[in-house]
């Protein structure tokens, strides 16, 4: 596995993403913590949302950048429509798709268009750069999920995780 692939699905920098989200019940994933803006569910939904945008851009699908930051988090209706297990599966499958792209050196150097915030010019970057950005974004939000798990006394997961 190459390092970018590890950053997307492995334990390059922390516990593997699939391990970070495993073994959680509905009570904990929807628990609101005072002073914390999002639940575990909302954090993972946000990761899956941006992951899909990245995959769309890599595939050449003209998917717009969200007009407002709130559009990158689920509405109450979206939360009701997708169970935690379904969300986890969507995230893991998207991560595996992104990881598979890292194994194609030719595709990694292709230049793609990535929409920017409203009012800013469309950016261009290589597929590799987009996947590096995705890995960094995922790491940030997965770290928030780890913190919420720690606050809920649900860390480390059964398959293991770093405890520092």
**Chain-centre distance for alpha carbon 30:** 17
Per-residue pLDDT band for 18 (boundaries 50, 70, 90) equals: very high
Query: Minimal CA–CA distance to 55: which of 1, 21, 8?
Result: 8
> Has residue 133 been placed in a domain?
yes
The mean of the pLDDT values for the chain is 95
CA distance 100 to 8: 10
Report the pLDDT averaged over residues 17-46. 97
- The pLDDT value given to residue 92: 98
> Has residue 118 been placed in a domain?
yes
Contacts 24+ apart (CB under 8 A), 24-30: 24/84, 24/149, 24/154, 26/84, 28/149, 28/152, 28/154, 29/84, 30/79
What is the total count of domains within the chain? 1
pLDDT beyond 80 at 162: no
Which structural domain, as residue segments, surrounds residue 146?
A: 3-11+19-151
Total-model pTM: 0.95
> Has residue 24 been placed in a domain?
yes
H helices of the chain, in order, are 3-9, 17-20, 26-29, 40-59, 76-81, 84-101, 105-108, 127-151
> Has residue 159 been placed in a domain?
no
């Amino acid at each position: 596995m190459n390092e970018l692939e590890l950053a997307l699905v492995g334990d390059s920098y922390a516990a593997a993403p699939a391990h970070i989200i495993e073994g959680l019940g509905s009570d904990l994933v929807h628990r609101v913590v005072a002073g914390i803006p999002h639940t575990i569910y909302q954090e993972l939904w946000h990761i899956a949302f941006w992951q899909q945008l990245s995959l769309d851009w890599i595939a050449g699908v003209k998917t717009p950048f969200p007009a407002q930051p709130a559009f990158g988090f689920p509405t109450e209706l979206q939360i009701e429509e997708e169970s935690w297990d379904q969300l986890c599966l969507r995230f893991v499958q998207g991560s595996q798709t992104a990881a598979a792209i890292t194994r194609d050196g030719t595709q990694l150097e292709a230049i793609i268009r990535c929409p920017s915030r409203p009012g800013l010019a469309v950016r261009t970057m290589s597929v590799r750069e987009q996947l590096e950005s995705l890995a960094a974004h995922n790491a940030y939000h997965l770290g928030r999920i780890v913190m919420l798990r720690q606050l809920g006394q649900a860390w480390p997961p059964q398959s293991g995780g770093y405890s520092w």
